[in-house]
C-alpha cells in the first residue's frame, strides 16, 4: 500500500525531509535509511514510518557521489544477436544480480568506434568494473589505460595480447584438436574448417608454417585453427590451405564458403564450423547443393545451439559451457571488486563433444 499521493515526482523527497518528519537529524535518518552506523530501534521506526509516508526513494547517484562506487558493471558485447553472448549475458546478469550489481549494457556490433564510445561512456558513468568481449580489431589503448589505472576488467571469450587482464573462455586449441581428432578417428583425411575470422587473418590461417598462427592467436578462431593443425600433424595428414575457409560472419558467407569447398577438385569429406551461425550456413549449403549429411559430407559445429538436435541430421557439436563462462567472468570480477588481490589469470573451461548424427565415415 502506498500512502503518498500520486503525482509527486520521484526523488522529490530527501533524507532531510524524512528526518524532519521523523523528528531526528539527517545523519540519523540517513543511517536508518542506508542501514549503516548505529541507530536506536525507536529512531529506526520513526524514520521508516516517515519514509514510507513520504514515499522516500534512496538516490543512488547522490550516494555514489560520496562512496565513489556505483555498484554497476559495464558489459560490452561484440554482437548482441549472437547466441553465444546471449547465454553468456544470462550467466553474467544472474551472478552479478546475486552480488548486488547492476549491468550497463553496450553492443559494440564488432565496430571499433562503437566499442570505444561505449568504453568512454562507462568510464564517465564510473562503473565499478567491466566485462568486455573485445571487438575483432580492438584498440587496446583505452582499455589498457583503464586497466593500468586500476579498473577491474575481465575479458570474455576473446583475449587481447599484452593486456594484463583476467580472461575467461574455453580451451580453444584443445577444442579444435578434439573436433578434428574425432573426424580423423572416423577415417576422414580431407577435413575442412570454416572460420568467421576477419579477412585480415586469412593469410596467417593459410600459411604453411603453423607459427604464423601466432598472429591470430588472440582470436578464438586462430587458436581453434591451431588445434586443428596440431591434430592433422599428429595424424600425419598434410595441411591443405584450401581447406581453411575464411568466411565472413554472416550465415550467407558460410553457405557460400561451403559451396566453394564442395566444388574443390578434391572436396573435403568433413567440415568443422567454428560457430553456430556458420554451422547453419553449412547446413543451408548442403541443402542447396543436394549433399546428404553425413553420408556424403560430415559436419561438426561449435556451440550447442537450441536447434542443434532438432535439425536433420542432428548436429554433432563442440559445446561451450556458455552460461558458465559468463558466470565465471562475473565471479572473477566480483572478487576484484571486493578488493581481493589476484594474479592475472586466464580461466579456461573445457568444451565438450556432443555426439549426434552429423558425422559418419567418409564415403567409399
Partner DNA sequence: ATGAAAGCGCTAACAC
Partner DNA sequence: GTGTTAGCGCTTTCAT
What does the binding site for DNA look like in residue numbers (CB under 7 A)? 11, 14-16, 24-28, 30-31, 33-34, 36-40, 42-43, 56, 58-59, 62-63, 65-67
Q: Which CB atom, from 235 or from 354, has the smaller least distance to its own copies?
A: 354
Residue selected from 22, 106, 193, 272 as contacting its own copies according to rule CB under 8 A: 106
Stretch that binds its own copies, among 40-48, 74-82, 336-344, 349-357 (CB under 8 A): 74-82
Instruction: Pick the closest to residue 50 from 77, 79, 19 (CA basis).
Output: 19
Cβ distance to its own copies smaller for residue 122 or 178:
122
Contact 28, 21 (CB under 8 A): no
Q: Based on CB atoms, which residue is closest to DNA, 62 or 345?
A: 62
Which residue, 146 or 204, is less far from its own copies as judged by CB?
146
Asked if residue 231 lies in contact with residue 260, where contact means CB atoms within 8 angstroms, the answer is no
Please report how close the Cβ of residue 9 comes to DNA at its closest, in angstroms.
10
Rounded CA separation 208/192 (Å)? 15
Nearer to its own copies, 174 or 309 (CB): 309
What is the per-residue DSSP string for 285-313? HHHHHT--TTTT-EEEEES--TTTTTSSS
Q: Which three cell numbers stand for residue 119?
A: 568504453
Give me the residue label for grid cell 568510464: 123
Among 70, 167, 258, 320, binds its own copies (CB under 8 A): 70
Measured CA to CA, the distance from residue 276 to residue 306 in angstroms comes to 10
Residues 233 and 180: beta-carbon distance below 8 Å:
no
**Binding to its own copies by residue 8, rule CB under 8 A?**
yes
Q: Does 11 bind its own copies (CB under 8 A)?
A: yes
Instruction: Tell me the backbone φ, ψ of residue 165, rounded to 5 degrees.
Output: -135, 150
Burial class (CB in 10 A: 0-12, 13-18, 19+), 168: buried
Question: Residue 157 carries which DSSP code?
Answer: S
Give the sheet arrangement for strand 352-354, strand by strand: 244-246, 191-195, 270-273, 298-302, 316-319, 352-354
34 binds, among its own copies, DNA, none (CB under 5 to 8 A by kind): DNA
Binding at 360: pick from its own copies, DNA, none (beta carbon under 5-8 Å per type): none
What's the min distance (Å) between Cβ of 96 and DNA?
21
- Segment contacting its own copies by CB under 8 A, of 51-59, 132-140, 209-217, 289-297: 51-59
Cα distance between residue 9 and residue 217, in whole Å: 54
Q: Does 52 bind its own copies (CB under 8 A)?
A: no
Q: 3-class DSSP state for residue 348?
A: strand
Among residues 7, 162, 236, 290, which is the contact residue for its own copies, using CB under 8 A? 7
Restricting to residues 114-143, which ones interact with its own copies according to CB under 8 A? 114, 121-126, 141
Please identify which residue in the block is written with the cell numbers 571486493.
338
Contact 219, 207 (CB under 8 A): no
Q: Which stretch binds its own copies (CB under 8 A): 26-34, 59-67, 180-188, 214-222?
A: 59-67
Measured from the CB of residue 219, what is the shortest distance to its own copies in angstroms? 23
Using CB under 8 A as the criterion, which residues of the chain lie in contact with its own copies when the complex forms?
Answer: 2, 6-11, 57-62, 64-65, 68, 70, 72, 75, 80-81, 83, 86-87, 89-90, 93-94, 97, 102-107, 109, 114, 121-126, 141, 145-146, 148-151, 251, 277, 280, 283-284, 287, 305-307, 309-312
Amino acid at each position: 500500500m502506498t500512502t503518498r499521493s500520486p503525482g509527486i515526482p520521484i526523488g522529490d523527497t530527501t533524507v532531510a525531509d524524512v528526518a524532519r518528519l521523523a523528528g531526528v537529524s539527517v545523519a540519523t535518518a540517513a543511517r536508518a535509511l542506508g542501514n549503516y552506523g548505529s541507530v536506536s530501534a525507536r529512531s529506526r521506526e520513526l524514520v521508516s514510518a516517515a519514509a514510507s509516508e513520504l514515499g522516500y526513494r534512496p538516490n543512488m547517484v547522490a550516494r555514489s557521489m560520496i562512496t565513489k562506487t556505483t555498484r554497476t558493471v559495464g558489459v560490452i558485447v561484440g554482437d548482441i544477436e549472437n547466441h553465444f553472448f546471449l547465454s553468456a549475458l544470462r550467466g553474467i546478469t544472474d551472478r552479478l544480480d546475486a552480488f548486488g550489481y547492476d549491468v550497463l549494457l553496450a553492443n559494440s556490433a564488432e565496430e571499433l568506434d562503437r566499442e570505444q564510445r561505449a568504453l568512454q561512456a562507462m568510464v564517465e558513468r564510473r562503473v565499478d568494473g567491466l566485462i568486455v568481449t573485445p571487438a575483432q580489431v580492438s584498440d587496446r589503448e583505452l582499455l589498457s589505460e583503464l586497466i593500468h589505472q586500476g579498473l577491474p576488467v575481465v575479458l570474455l571469450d576473446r583475449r587481447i595480447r599484452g593486456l594484463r587482464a583476467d580472461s575467461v573462455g574455453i580451451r580453444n586449441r584443445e577444442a579444435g584438436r578434439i573436433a578434428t581428432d574425432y573426424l580423423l578417428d572416423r577415417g576422414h583425411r580431407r577435413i575442412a574448417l570454416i572460420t568467421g575470422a576477419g579477412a585480415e587473418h586469412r593469410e596467417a590461417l593459410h600459411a604453411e608454417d603453423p607459427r604464423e598462427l601466432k598472429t591470430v592467436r588472440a582470436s578464438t578462431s586462430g587458436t581453434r585453427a591451431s588445434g586443428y593443425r596440431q591434430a592433422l600433424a599428429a595424424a600425419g595428414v598434410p595441411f591443405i590451405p584450401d581447406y581453411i575457409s575464411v568466411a565472413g560472419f554472416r550465415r550467407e558467407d558460410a553457405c557460400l564458403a561451403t559451396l566453394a569447398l564442395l566444388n574443390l577438385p578434391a572436396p573435403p569429406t568433413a567440415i568443422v564450423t567454428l560457430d553456430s551461425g556458420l554451422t547453419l550456413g553449412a547446413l543451408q549449403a548442403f541443402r542447396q547443393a543436394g549433399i546428404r549429411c553425413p553420408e556424403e559430407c560430415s559436419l561438426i559445429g561449435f556451440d550447442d545451439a537450441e536447434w542443434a538436435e532438432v535439425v536433420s541430421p542432428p548436429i554433432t557439436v563442440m559445446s561451450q559451457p556458455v552460461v558458465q563462462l559468463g558466470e565465471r567472468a562475473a565471479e572473477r570480477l566480483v572478487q576484484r571488486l571486493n578488493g581481493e588481490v589476484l594474479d592475472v589469470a586466464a580461466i579456461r573451461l573445457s568444451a565438450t563433444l556432443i555426439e549426434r548424427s552429423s558425422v559418419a565415415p567418409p564415403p567409399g
